[in-house]
Structure 1
Amino acid sequence: MNAMTRRIIVGTAAASMALSLTACGGQDSSSSNSGGSQTVGLLLPERASSTRYESFDKPQIAAAITGLCTKCKLDYANAEGSEQTQKQQFDDMVSKGTKVIILDPVNGKGTASWVQEAKAKGTKVISYDRLASGDVTAYVGYDSERAGELQGQALLDALKDKASSANVVMINGAAADPNAAQFKAGAHKVLDGKVNKIVYEQSGEWKPELAAQKMTEAIQRLGKDGFQAVYAANDGMAASIIGVLQSAGIKVPVGGQDASLDAIRRVISGEQAYTVYKPFRQETDAAANLAVYLLKGLDVTSVATTVTISDGTRIPSTLLSPVVVTKQNVADTVIAGGLYKVSDICNDKYAEACSSAGLK
């Protein structure tokens, strides 16, 4: 799926404020509705390779919706990585009369018929975090190609003056995830021509165990000295890759994405070079705001900050900017942003590393 975006209308903060005020002010207009008309469906893709969905996305979206519409309800399901399971969950919500579904698809390329069938029955779909195919009503996510660029640059920064002679292993995300393709494209945009060569590149499918298998294969093919850095598309895969490297006695920079708690600890200890932080509250609040807007029958184009063009369809969108997290800026990013407290990160095992990094 090819998608491009352009900036229009207003900034995110202004849009969010306008939407929140309108949604709260119009709350009484939905009080006479019943059943699915007051329900927002939330479908998240998995929980095995990333802790973010259960720890942040679901509870924050639920809280934001309740804050905007006290009589609204959230109907939630997790697909556990199965496209078939998610399709059944989606169909169940549509059959119950759910008017708005926030969908983070397992396979973004396979949802066009879902969206069309839902639309015919009066259900609107907000594509969340990953762009779903089809005529979705709105899209909320992060600039995925920019995230890939940040990953690539952070890997170059970790290699320092060795970058131009470095061979790099790349373990990408799932082939069915359009975001993964954009992460990959962004990383290549930065790395190609700046490192010696990408010597091994495979998909880890967002599965830590598969990423470990691919890393093992790369070592077998290339030898322990055949590469100087590893790009991992997310933190779950980075964790398993680092485990394989440590078992083989190899120490090279490895990066990830998602700012999971275990990844932040690895960054602090020097096991992981960086992660990419997507301030989840910005994304969850934007999705909740759009959902309540749609429940009230309001036009989301007035508060969208971007248009995403996908397969010729113009989708009102809000795209947000990710941030690289390294040992040097943990305090200024995930701690200052309220994602974690120092006490969350600095347990006994990481106390010395935290002290060295100035976290107290």
Structure 2
Amino acid sequence: MIRRYTAIAAGATLALSLAACGGEGAGSGSADEGSESGGGGGEGGTVGVAMPTQTSERWIADGNAVEAGLTEAGYDVDLQFANDDIPTQSQQIDQMITNGADALVIAAIDGTALSSQLDAAAAAGIPVISYDRLIRDSENVDFYVTFDNYNVGVQQATALLVGLGILNEDGSEGDAEGPFNIELFAGSLDDNNAHFFWDGAMDTLQPYMDDGTLEVPSGQTDIEQAATLRWQQETAQRRMEDLLTSTYSDGTELHGVLSPYDGLSRGIITALRSDGMGDTIEDGLPIVSGQDAEIASVKLINDGVQHSTIFKDTRKLADQAVVTVEAYMADEEAEANDTESYDNGVKVVPSFLLESDIVYQDNITELLIDSEYWTQEEVESGVAE
């Protein structure tokens, strides 16, 4: 996807004039884990950008988009990926501060593990922008750019209800009455977003669980039981396999699975297919939700295997991060549209929230291809070019 990030630079000046406008493209890149990238120009100073991993194409997309926007704005950029290793990310941020970063954009692996780095940044007068994952338990977080993560959870649950026929895509009541058996998956407990996703989803599903329309045969309805450490696909696959053995080996039918991330969804689907539950939804595969519109999962949706995903246009999030950096570097107040929701345990962090969309098979073209997030060829192949 490097060709797309080259295209970002040409339009980044326009992007900076808007709070949340689209950039160009998304997908995977080819930098090595932990590698350092120098930006161009550097007239405005140096910005350290700390991303959690390159095992997810989503985070590669974010890192590259933020770097491209900041470079076009005249900053040197120190972009680092930490391979989902907390000590590595801590060391990378320490080095950014030592090297004289003027601002930090951080997508934390563990939102509670960076207190000493944030203290050092504050002592050096370096503003810290928390990127998509809220950094917790520190007063030294200046701003938060993210999506409306509670609503993302609502959308994930809504998509599951649509897949089961309980709701129609327009939100009206569907014809299906149930009862339907579902299982619940959550993200990594050290990621603050996982809790927002879970709360939004459970608030949406709970009325249907209370009236018996939905049932969870395993009884695992607490986030601690449903959590998936580090959002690992293999961990989700193993848990789904265990659930199938413990709860469904007697012939109990499974109708749907709430999954909060496409990587988990693919692990869950692998387990379901291996258990003989069907290859596609049409021939009996349970409904599985997702998030991030990763190209491998978009292909599965297009092929009728995965039911849905949530499209969070990370180009817009990257643009908003650049706008926010610009404000702090100019000693101006960054624009926030939420000053109440994101309490990190020490302070309510001013935030800018972006909206997301549910992707179904019938709106892939409208949401993902027409917006040039993915091409038709990529959707059909499941591989980013």
Fold in common (TM above 0.5): yes
The equivalent of 1:203 in structure 2 is 227
- Report SS of the residue matched to 1:338: coil
Matched AA of 1:158: G
Instruction: Give 2:195's aligned residue.
Output: 181
1:87 match: 90
* TM-score computed with the length of structure 1 as normaliser: 0.82
Task: String of CA shifts for 1:78-137, please: whole Å, max 9, x gaps.
Answer: 111111111111111111111111000001123334322211122211000111122311
Distance 1:47 1:18, change over 3 A: closer
User: Matched residues in 1 for 2:232 and 2:309: separation?
Assistant: 17
What is the root-mean-square deviation in Å for CA atoms of aligned residues? 2.4
Contact 1:231–1:254 (Cα < 8 Å) also in 2: yes
CA separation in 1, counterparts of 2:227 and 2:128? Answer: 28
Which has the larger helix fraction?
1
Amino acid at match of 1:298: E
Q: Which consecutive residues of structure 2, in runs of 5 or more, have no partner in the other structure?
A: 1-13, 21-40, 167-175, 278-284
Unaligned runs of 5+ in 1: 1-13, 21-33, 351-360
Which residue of structure 1 lines up, in the alignment, with residue 274 of structure 2? 247
Between structures 1 and 2, the one with greater strand share:
1
Counterpart amino acid of residue 228 in structure 2: G
The separation in 2 between residues aligned to 1:108 and 1:223, in whole angstroms, is 36
Q: Which residue of 2 aligns with 1:46?
A: 53
Query: Which residue type is aligned with residue 53 of structure 1?
Result: W
Count of residues paired in the alignment: 317
Match of 1:260 in 2: 294
1:292 paired residue among 326, 339, 345: 326
Measure, in 2, the Cα distance between the counterparts of 1:221 and 1:314. Answer: 42
Q: Deviations over 1:245-286 (max 9, x none)?
A: 101111101111000001100001111000000011110000
| Bigger relative contact order (CA 8 A; separation at least 6) | 1
CA distance in 2, matches of 1:190, 1:149: 6
Say which of 330, 333, 338 aligns to 1:306.
338
SS of equivalent residue, structure 1 residue 271: coil
Is residue 2:329 matched to residue 1:324? no
CA drift of 1:16 comes to 5.9
Deviation at 1:314, TM superposition (A): 3.5
CA distance in 2, matches of 1:312, 1:121: 20
Q: Which residue, out of 347, 350, 368, partners 1:334?
A: 368
Query: Which secondary structure does the structure 2 equivalent of 1:294 belong to?
Result: helix
Once residues 297 and 96 of structure 1 are traced to their aligned partners in structure 2, the CA distance between those partners, rounded to angstroms, is: 21
Identity %: 26
Q: Contact 2:67–2:79 (CA<8 Å) still a contact in 1?
A: no
SS at match of 1:107: coil
Change in CA separation of 1:15 and 1:47 when aligned onto 2, cut-off 3 Å: closer
- Superposition pairs of residues 214-253 of structure 1, within 5 angstroms: 214-224=239-249, 225-250=252-277, 251-253=285-287
- Runs of 4+ aligned structure 1 residues displaced above 6 Å come to 34-37
**Alpha-carbon distance in 2 for matches of 1:80, 1:157:** 36
Residue type of the alignment partner of 1:209: E
1:317-340 CA deviation, whole Å, 9 max, x = no partner?
A: 210111100001111111122211
Using the alignment, how far apart are the partners of 2:199 and 2:319 within structure 1? 28
The aligned runs of 1:343-358 (5 Å cut-off) are 343-347=377-381
Q: CA deviation at 1:59?
A: 1.7
Q: Equivalents in 2 of 1:15, 1:312: separation in Å? A: 33
Q: Describe the SS at the equivalent of 2:305.
A: coil
